[in-house]
Amino acid sequence: MYDNDTYMPKLKETARANLENLYRIFTVPEAPDSTLGSIDQAISDDVSGFLRTHIVALERTIEDIEADFLATEIPEEPTFVSEYTDFVKEKLVAQSVHTAAPGFVGHMTSALPYFMLPLSRIMTALNQNLVKVETSKAFTPMERQVLAMLHRLVFQRENEFYPEWTHNSQHALGAFCSGGTIANITALWVARNRLFSPDGDFKGIANEGLHRSLQYIDSQGLAVLVSHRGHYSLGKAADLLGIGRDNLIKIETDDRNRIDMSRLKRKLSQLQKDNIRPLALVGIAGTTETGNVDPLDDMADLAQELGCHFHVDAAWGGPTLFSDTHRGLLKGIERADSVTLDAHKQLYIPMGAGMVVFKDPTALSAIEHHAAYILRQGSKDLGSHTLEGSRPGKSMLVHAGLSIIGRKGYELLIDMGIERARTFASQILKNKDFELTSEPELNILTYRYCPEWVRQSFSNLDTKQRCRINVLLDQINQLIQKYQREAGKTFVSRTRLRTRDYGKKIITVLRVVLANPLTTDEILDAVLDEQSEIITRPEIQTLLNRIKDLVDSTKNDLP
């Protein structure tokens, strides 16, 4: 079996040329004027050119683009790097969405600080694996430091706390994750496992599973409670953790998209009668769709009273804590048991960086795990307290952001975003064609096309008539969003929302997220101008005429 003489020559003869090519691609080019060096430079130039061109995307239908990605056989023969980069340039870069464009205000991706590019290159080249110290070395203390900094931002524990816990070999103050979804799942996983920790003969839920755990406390199920504005990742968490989506109880909101505390309390009484145990209350600090913040202090009081876990999903709004002016909006977050933060949102880190931090530095023990070859007891390996296994050194980019931008720089970004949202809201309020459907509390707002004459007519209409008009308005707003996206100059997103003015009716609204510091008031004016222009299209005019007919017909009905 171990005789190479029979095997190696064959391999060597047939593949010597290929082997040499292979070695070459694994070797760092010696000089910038080598082939790979110049390709590297050309790619950098190309990306720069793309980033400087402030367009959102050239519209081609997705089916049209798919034509370039139909082959399902893995290419048999190798391709030259230069040939492949031409493909990337034409078929991918030119057909990607310019998420950093100042007119791309529809989703939570923004421009990146330019220094993230060379630093990401270092991160990629070093290829550290944060699961264990043996494959990450200095990156492990660096990540622990970043977790401690964010922990401190949120929980403001005393000075003595941090030296004891930051680099503690038994514990971690939080977990780096690929995003907010894993962070939220980790938080609820910890909450579940702490509720059912080992106790006498009962070995804990981690070992015995959910079924026996519920039998052990003689309960019919667990519930997680959050407002209707809760992120969809919470539904995934309820499913994954075996709790069930039916037991993710969604509570109605008040007229500012914040959880209705009296309804929450009523629901909790009901659950008690049904012998369902409340596992966690989830507060939202910056709802995905409207940017509102739940009454976190009230929720903390209630969670304390119930003795249940209090998680705050601050994936969006967490960095508001940087701002002296606006920090108060998140009052109560320091009383949470766990808090989710997304670094790829308002910390301006490239995609794929979330975090969850826990007030109690021993909380993550509830999901601790070990293996024979790594994550040994007492090691400082971060992998023993994360849902994920092998992970890249993304925390380095958070470290860079915190260091280079600093607390005051982030404060400025937060303040600017909130200010910009207020300015845009005032523009919408002044515009007779549009209706503001949620006022910005942070830097997100929603609105819709709904001309003043339609709004004025509503008071004379009955529910059924309003409903018919709203259905037509929904179609118009869908078309506005679609045509604007296709034109590729600017981009807003759309969602469906229950707003105070239309009772229980859900309407389609346009959504704007203002986190890109390069977005100006002039660009936002252009967004509205473009929408006003789109409204003149015949397809939309036809729908508008149907609304006019409806309004007119009711006028005729009047005595």
Q: Which of 55, 216, 235, 362 binds a copy of itself (CB under 8 A)?
A: 235
Strand partners, 191: none
- Alpha-carbon distance of 340 to 413, in angstroms, equals 20
Is the Cβ of residue 153 or residue 547 nearer to a copy of itself in the bound state? 153
Q: Does the protein bind a copy of itself through residue 212 (CB under 8 A)?
A: yes
Q: Which of 105, 109, 279, 417 binds a copy of itself (CB under 8 A)?
A: 109
Name residues contacting a copy of itself, limited to 65-84 (CB under 8 A).
65-66, 68-81, 84
- Token readout for 425 is 């809201």
Q: Does the protein bind a copy of itself through residue 240 (CB under 8 A)?
A: yes
Name residues contacting a copy of itself, limited to 359-418 (CB under 8 A).
367, 369-375, 380, 387-393, 396, 400, 402-409, 412-413, 415-416
Shortest Cβ distance from residue 274 to a copy of itself (Å)? 13
Q: Which of 86, 92, 456, 529 binds a copy of itself (CB under 8 A)?
A: 92
- Alpha-carbon distance of 178 to 58, in angstroms, equals 29
DSSP-derived secondary structure letter, 156: -
Q: Does the protein bind a copy of itself through residue 138 (CB under 8 A)?
A: yes
Is the Cβ of residue 36 or residue 543 nearer to a copy of itself in the bound state? 36
Residues near 489 by beta carbon (within 8 Å), at least 6 away in sequence: 55, 56, 103, 526, 530
Residues near 446 by beta carbon (within 8 Å), at least 6 away in sequence: 289, 290, 436, 437, 438, 495, 497, 509, 510, 511, 512
Interface stretch with a copy of itself, choices 42-50, 263-271, 529-537, 543-551 (CB under 8 A) = 42-50
CA atoms within 13 A on the CB side of 198: 8
Name residues contacting a copy of itself, limited to 165-204 (CB under 8 A).
166-167, 178-182, 185, 189, 193, 203
Q: Does the protein bind a copy of itself through residue 101 (CB under 8 A)?
A: no
- Token readout for 384 is 């023993």
- Alpha-carbon distance of 68 to 359, in angstroms, equals 49
Shortest Cβ distance from residue 179 to a copy of itself (Å)? 5
Q: Does the protein bind a copy of itself through residue 487 (CB under 8 A)?
A: no
Shortest Cβ distance from residue 457 to a copy of itself (Å)? 25
In three-state secondary structure terms, 183 is helix
Shortest Cβ distance from residue 366 to a copy of itself (Å)? 10
x-marked contacts with a copy of itself along 250-289 as a string, rule CB under 8 A: --------------------------------------xx
Interface stretch with a copy of itself, choices 44-52, 264-272, 463-471, 530-538 (CB under 8 A) = 44-52
Name residues contacting a copy of itself, limited to 313-332 (CB under 8 A).
322
Q: Does the protein bind a copy of itself through residue 532 (CB under 8 A)?
A: no
Shortest Cβ distance from residue 286 to a copy of itself (Å)? 14
Q: Does the protein bind a copy of itself through residue 558 (CB under 8 A)?
A: no
How deeply is 91 buried, as exposed, middle or buried, from its count of CB atoms within 10 A (0-12, 13-18, 19+)? Answer: middle
In three-state secondary structure terms, 462 is coil
Q: Does the protein bind a copy of itself through residue 6 (CB under 8 A)?
A: no
Residue 283 gets the label, from left (phi > 0), alpha (psi -120 to 50) or beta, of beta
Determine contact, residues 101/55, Cβ cutoff 8 Å: yes
Is the Cβ of residue 523 or residue 547 nearer to a copy of itself in the bound state? 523
Shortest Cβ distance from residue 454 to a copy of itself (Å)? 22
Q: Does the protein bind a copy of itself through residue 35 (CB under 8 A)?
A: no
Determine contact, residues 204/193, Cβ cutoff 8 Å: yes
Determine contact, residues 97/104, Cβ cutoff 8 Å: yes
In three-state secondary structure terms, 259 is strand
- Alpha-carbon distance of 158 to 129, in angstroms, equals 31
State the pairing for strand pair 493-498/276-284.
Answer: unpaired
Name residues contacting a copy of itself, limited to 441-470 (CB under 8 A).
none
């794929």: which residue's tokens? 352
